[in-house]
Chains A and B, each alone.
Chain A
Amino acid sequence: MVARPKATQQTALARALDHRGVLGAMFMLPAALLLLVFLTYPLGLGTYLGFTDAKIGRPGHWIGLENFEYLWGDAVTRLALFNTLFYTVVASVIKFGLGLWLALLLNKHVPFKAALRAVVLLPFIVPTALSAIAFWWIYDSQFSILSWGLLKLGLIDQYIDFLGQPWHARFSTIAANIWRGVPFVAITLLAGLQTISPSYYEAASLDGASPWQQFRYVTLPLLTPIIAVVMTFSVLMTFTDFQLIYVLTRGGPLNSTHLMATLSFQRAISGGSLGEGAAIATAMVPFLLAVILLSYFGLQSRTWQQGGTDK
């Protein structure tokens, strides 16, 4: 493939080192070592732990499906599964809607476009745990600025207990998650929008397409591949969310905001039942795989469709 110099002064060792196989292996070594020890091995170990009764400080014994059977009958785990699905679906749908809207707005000719784009991404780049603390203060039952504002506007007559009641807490945490996620969706979709050639829109408007039709028949089909990728990441991040819940509610009140991740942390680290916690974490894997496969095959059929319609 590539012309190889046959310099006579090269020693056998130097030649061996320059061989693509040997060199490739050497170059891969640091990354492979770190990833095998701290990613692949733990991934396998986690699955194994899920089938044991390991506790912190005590190696476990193989107990088969016992953990999973117990968890299936456990009301808190079932609630956490429901919460996780509810949280993921509601937050992802809204993040997609608002993110796409924001991306379309930022794609128009507005003054200070670059600065706007930079500012919009701020919620995504600051540590979630820290912005969650700001939300905690915003949601405070006694001094909430939201309650203060709504009270002054005459919309409510007493302070709202944002994090103290199950459904309030669910929607409050979802709102905070949306706040953090919309910039990510918007900025990545904006990058997709910018790759769409303006000539498509010119052609469409010459054919008399309305703005809605241009969006529906030009923007959306061309954006679909990137939407699929962005939303896969967004759903994965939301489904495995931990920090926001840990900071805002620790799963309360009455476990109404526990997600699979926070529950597995509570059982494994706070409660010491490594095996049980690992089983909860393992139970998340099929959902994650389903999302990845769905987007992978969805994406494939979509690109095929596009190829078909373009020609």
Chain B
Amino acid sequence: MNDSSAAAAAASAVTGAGESQGMNYLVSLPRRIVTVYAPLAAFLIVLLFPFYWMIVTTFKPNEELLSREGNPFWVKNPTLAHVKKLLFDTAYPDWLWNTILVSVTATFISLFASVLAAYAVERLRFRSARYVGMSIFLAYLVPPSILFIPLAAVIYKLQLFDTRLALILTYPTFLIPFATWLLMGYFKSIPIELEECALIDGATRLQILVKIILPLAVPGLISAGIFAFTLSWNEFIYALTFVSSSEVKTVPVGVVTELVEGDVYHWGSLMAGALLGSLPVAVLYSFFVEYYVSGLTGAIKE
């Protein structure tokens, strides 16, 4: 690099960070702060503030919540009163249990159906497998907000209205297309020669699936499982429509419909409800970030 052009280069050497040479990197450090770290910090503050605010509100006594004096960003006298109220005076524990039950069951049902379907489409290659694959992708694009009205009619006809089973059976409609699509990608990456060897050795297709494909597709199964679990945990419109008794509600629906009644909003327990309802997915997610991200991007990338 010429001396004459060094200044100009330094000014423009912000991108390609990893490849920039030592001197350039030093010169452009102040610029890096302005162009990289400051915006990144701003993004983080905005993206995380609502969670911080949830936590702060959960532990604030009512006097502090409703006063405009003092520093609102900190809790002076932390209290567990809101959490206690939530856990002992409302049906929140029921909702939590329902959400866990529905999410886990729907996830396992969907995984089971998706593994079989993905294997059939990707490896058995029966006639019209291509069209089945296509229609599964199309099913993936059908949004719940155009399905919930006729689905409510179906649920009613099957006499499943106001039961957990209604949710357990309807959640797979958005879980199976996604999970199948994701698993098809994983199965595709497993060498077909492995299967051919097993076939020559006399293994049946079912044995191949259980003993060869599934062990190799464990990362895919975890990705699909984690993703399906969070999707079910977050589901709202079906749970709002198909269930009406308090003891069958899920956390998102229960918090929104039952804690909000009346004119006086109990912000403390509302935020406690939101926080406790978000924690399980957040914790699970934090253990499986890589799997979650690969599920998210894998499902998008085809």
The reply to whether the CB of B233 lies closer than 8 angstroms to some CB of chain A is: yes
Chain B residues numbered 24-66 whose CB sits less than 8 Å from any CB in chain A:
36-37, 39-40, 43-44, 46-48, 50-51, 53-54, 57, 65-66
The reply to whether the CB of A201 lies closer than 8 angstroms to some CB of chain B is: yes
**Once the chains are docked, how many angstroms separate the CA of A226 from the CA of B300?**
8
Return chain B residues, CB-CB under 8 Å to A230: 300
Contact B46 A179 (CB under 8 A): yes
Contact A5 B16 (CB under 8 A): no
- Report if A20-B300 is in contact (Cβ < 8 Å); known contacts: A42-B150, A46-B146: no
Return chain B residues, CB-CB under 8 Å to A105: 36, 39-40, 43
Return chain A residues, CB-CB under 8 Å to B199: 2-5
**Once the chains are docked, how many angstroms separate the CA of A42 from the CA of B113?**
20
1/0 contact string of A28-41 vs chain B (CB within 8 Å): 11111011011111
Shortest Cβ gap from A136 to chain B (Å): 8
Partner of B281, one of A21, A109, A127: A127
Contact B149 A264 (CB under 8 A): yes
Contact A242 B271 (CB under 8 A): no
Contact B293 A117 (CB under 8 A): yes
Contact B300 A229 (CB under 8 A): yes
- Report if A269-B274 is in contact (Cβ < 8 Å); known contacts: A28-B116, A179-B50, A236-B141: no
The reply to whether the CB of B205 lies closer than 8 angstroms to some CB of chain A is: yes
Give the A-B contact count at a CB cut-off of 8 A.
308
Which chain A residue shows the least CB distance to B203? Answer: A5
Q: Count chain B residues whose beta carbon lies closer than 8 angstroms to a beta carbon of A.
A: 104
Contact B120 A18 (CB under 8 A): no
Q: Which of B82-90, B165-173, B217-225 contacts A (4 or more CB under 8 A)?
A: B165-173
Return chain B residues, CB-CB under 8 Å to A134: 50-51, 53-54, 271, 274
Return chain B residues, CB-CB under 8 Å to A32: 117
Q: Count chain A residues whose beta carbon lies closer than 8 angstroms to a beta carbon of B.
A: 109
**Once the chains are docked, how many angstroms separate the CA of A20 from the CA of B204?**
11
The reply to whether the CB of A188 lies closer than 8 angstroms to some CB of chain B is: yes
Contact A130 B47 (CB under 8 A): no
Main secondary structure of the interface of A (DSSP, over half): helix
- Report if A35-B176 is in contact (Cβ < 8 Å); known contacts: A14-B204, A229-B301: yes
Shortest Cβ gap from A277 to chain B (Å): 5
Chain B residues numbered 272-294 whose CB sits less than 8 Å from any CB in chain A:
273-274, 277-278, 281-282, 285-286, 289, 292-293
Shortest Cβ gap from B201 to chain A (Å): 8
Contact B120 A23 (CB under 8 A): yes
Chain B residues numbered 143-159 whose CB sits less than 8 Å from any CB in chain A:
143-154
Contact A137 B145 (CB under 8 A): no
Chain A residues numbered 150-189 whose CB sits less than 8 Å from any CB in chain B:
179, 182-184, 187-188
Most buried by B among A24, A179, A260: A24
**Once the chains are docked, how many angstroms separate the CA of A210 from the CA of B230?**
42
Return chain B residues, CB-CB under 8 Å to A129: 234, 236, 252-253, 255-256
Which chain B residue shows the least CB distance to A264? Answer: B149
The reply to whether the CB of B212 lies closer than 8 angstroms to some CB of chain A is: no
- Report if A282-B205 is in contact (Cβ < 8 Å); known contacts: A39-B173, A129-B252, A130-B274: no
**Once the chains are docked, how many angstroms separate the CA of A127 from the CA of B43?**
20
Contact A27 B120 (CB under 8 A): yes
Query: What are the 9 closest A-B residue pairs judged by CB atoms, nearest first?
Result: A24-B126, A27-B120, A46-B150, A129-B252, A261-B145, A240-B143, A31-B117, A191-B297, A42-B150
6 contacts between A and B (CB under 8 A): A109-B18, A116-B40, A134-B51, A138-B50, A138-B53, A277-B149
Interface residues of B (CB under 8 A from A): 12, 14-19, 36-37, 39-40, 43-44, 46-48, 50-51, 53-54, 57, 65-66, 68, 72, 109, 112-114, 116-117, 119-121, 124-127, 129, 132, 136, 139, 141-154, 169-170, 172-173, 176-177, 180, 195-196, 199-202, 204-206, 230, 233-234, 236-237, 240-241, 251-253, 255-256, 265, 267, 270-271, 273-274, 277-278, 281-282, 285-286, 289, 292-293, 296-297, 300-302
